[in-house]
Amino acid sequence: YEIYLNGMSGAVPRLPTDLTRLEEVTEQRLGPGPVGYVAGSAGDGSTARANRAALERRRIVPRMLRDVHERDLSVEVLGRPLPAPLALAPVGVLSIMHPDAESAAARAAAAQGVPFILSSASSTPMEQVAEAMGDAERWFQLYWPKDPEVARSFLSRAKAAGFTALVVTLDTPLLAWRPRDLDQAYLPFLHGVGTANYFSDPAFQAGLAKPVAEDPNAAVMHFVGVFSDPGKTWPDLAFLRENWDGPIVLKGILHPDDARLAADAGMDGVVVSNHGGRQVAGSVAAADALPRVVEAVGDRLTVLFDSGVRTGDDVFKALALGARAVLVGRPYVYGLGLDGQAGVEHVIRCLLAELDLTLALTGHSTPATIGAADLVEGSA
Ligand code: FNR
């Protein structure tokens, strides 16, 4: 009601409350280069469109006359209590959106009690982001470096900086064919954006002939070499188990058999995700993959979800399809671009307020009671 009450004195929100409009508004303000990178997806964009369509096609069937006057959005994820089933997805290179970049987004997450997942490819070193967050919940996303010494060093730095869970992204051993970036020859990494964790890393530096400051181009090329490794296979996960003693979540799982392999490998969770449609054009929509993964491993692993979530009812639908919690990517990145920390907080608050109202209006007072019976497949 805060927004309506403020409206009585003429104060309307600075940013749209319909988060599907943020891309357009951000592009108007920041121009096409950076927004093209954020909005862009693989190939002709079919996977990003399919992500939206798969969520929109599913329709909620509200129930009446259930006592919903008190509601509680909290859930347990990876053995820890969270105030709501929401986390900020790992997104690299945030300095292309705002000079305060990851630190501003992390502070916003901390202020709203939502976990922040820091990307390996952040434009701010992980220790600095950790400092901005105090003791708020944070997870570290690993792009698994080819050089095991760099991988080991990342893991021990993340542990020391208070990151509790490790999110290992498996769908990006190579960057996909992304025409918007190819046509503009725009790749932030080649300008040294998104390399902060690497350039500040002693094991990475040990592989350089000259310090980063003396030969930045060579450092960028070295980064390209160690960034990730298309040669990895399932048995390699043992390395992560040996070097990380907290929960490990595999991000980018779409096939139920891969989810079973994750469980067999002793992982703690998966994120059903197609990277927001940025990796494989023509891929299965994430929301279509989700129920199959939940059926395969829902009793063994924590199943999280992302790709295409834009509204509170999208979060509801993902929970109804079996996700324990949901990650959101682009919307908060646009919020950051438009208004820094306040913009990210705006996005989180809109999503949570809309989710809370959706629960109330569909007859639920906690996420625990949401399930498959709440959805039908419509025609969108
Ligand atoms: C991403 N994503 C991502 N994922 C990851 O594991 N590490 C990363 O560094 C990045 N970087 C990144 C940059 C940009 C600009 C975007 C848009 C996305 C993927 C991200 O974590 C998440 O899977 C998607 O953003 C979810 O889809 P939506 O919410 O953006 O539709």
Residue range 38-55, pLDDT digits in tens: 999 999 999 999 999 999
Separation between Cα atoms, residue 66 and residue 375, nearest integer Å: 17
What separation in Å is there between the alpha carbon of 90 and the centre of ligand 1? 6
The one catalytic residue in 98, 222, 275, 364 is 275
Task: Identify the band that residue 25 occupies on the pLDDT scale cut at 50, 70 and 90.
Answer: very high
The CATH code of the domain that includes 249 is 3.20.20.70
Q: Is residue 2 part of a domain?
A: no
Q: Give the per-residue pLDDT at 5.
A: 86
Domain count, the chain: 1
Q: Any idea which of 118-122, 187-191, 203-207, 295-299 has the lowest mean pLDDT? A: 187-191
Q: 6 in a domain, yes or no?
A: no
CA of 274 to the centre of ligand 1 (A): 9
275: annotated active-site residue: yes
| Per-residue pLDDT band at 380 (split at 50, 70, 90) | low
Mutate to test the pocket of ligand 1, among 23, 27, 49, 91 (most ligand atoms within 8 A of CB): 91
> What pLDDT, in 10s, does the model give residues 307-338?
999 999 999 999 999 999 999 999 999 999 99
> Residue 67 Cα, ligand 1 centroid: separation in angstroms?
38
Provide the 10 A C-beta neighbour count for residue 265: 16
Q: In this structure, is residue 372 part of a structural domain? A: no
Give tens-digit pLDDT for 212-236.
Answer: 999 999 999 999 999 999 999 999 9
Distance 207 CA to ligand 1 centre (A): 28
Whole-number average pLDDT of the chain: 96
- Per-residue tokens: 223: 């980064």
Average pLDDT estimate for 296-303:
98
What pLDDT is stored for residue 190 in this prediction?
A: 87
| 204 inside domain | yes
- 63 occurs within a structural domain: no
Check residue 12 and give its pLDDT: 87
**In the chain, what percentage of residues exceed pLDDT 90?**
91
One-letter amino acid of 270: V
Distance 1 CA to ligand 1 centre (A): 31
Within a domain: residue 378?
Answer: no
Burial string for 42-74 (b: 16+ CB within 10 Å, else e) reads bbebbbbebbbbbbbbbebeeeeeeebeeeebe
ipTM over 0.95: yes
**In this predicted structure, what is the pLDDT of residue 13?**
87
Higher-confidence residue of 184 and 103: namely 103
Q: How far is CA 356 from CA 349, 350, 361, in A?
A: 10, 10, 9
How confident is residue 1, by pLDDT bands cut at 50, 70 and 90? Answer: confident
Nearest CA to ligand 1 atom 25: 329
Instruction: Ligand 1, residue 171: give the atom nearest the CA.
Output: 6
- If one residue of 254, 271, 275, 315 were mutated to test the ligand 1 pocket, choosing by the most ligand atoms within 8 A of its CB, it would be 275
pTM to 2 decimal places: 0.98
DSSP, collapsed to helix, strand or coil, labels residue 66 as coil
Judged against a pLDDT cut of 60, whether residue 373 lies above it is answered with yes
Map residue 139 onto helix, strand or coil.
Answer: strand
Instruction: Ligand 1, residue 328: give the atom nearest the CA.
Output: 29
- The residue among 181, 227, 183, 168 whose CA lies nearest residue 41 is 181
Q: Which domain does 105 fall in, by range?
A: 20-58+74-367
Best mutation site among 27, 144, 278 for ligand 1 pocket (most ligand atoms within 8 Å of CB): 278
The answer to whether residue 380 is domain-embedded is: no
Q: In this model, does residue 32 exceed pLDDT 90?
A: no
The per-residue pLDDT for 40 is 94
Q: Which residues line ligand 1 (CB under 6 A)?
A: 37-38, 89-92, 119, 121, 141, 169, 251, 273, 275-276, 278, 306-309, 328-330
pLDDT bracket for residue 255 (50, 70, 90): very high
Q: Which whole number is the average pLDDT over 137-158?
A: 98
Task: Check: CB of residue 303 under 8 Å from CB of residue 336.
Answer: no
- pLDDT for res 290: 98
Which residues make Cβ contacts (< 8 Å) with residue 23, sequence separation at least 6?
35, 38, 39, 330, 334
Q: Does a structural domain hold residue 89?
A: yes
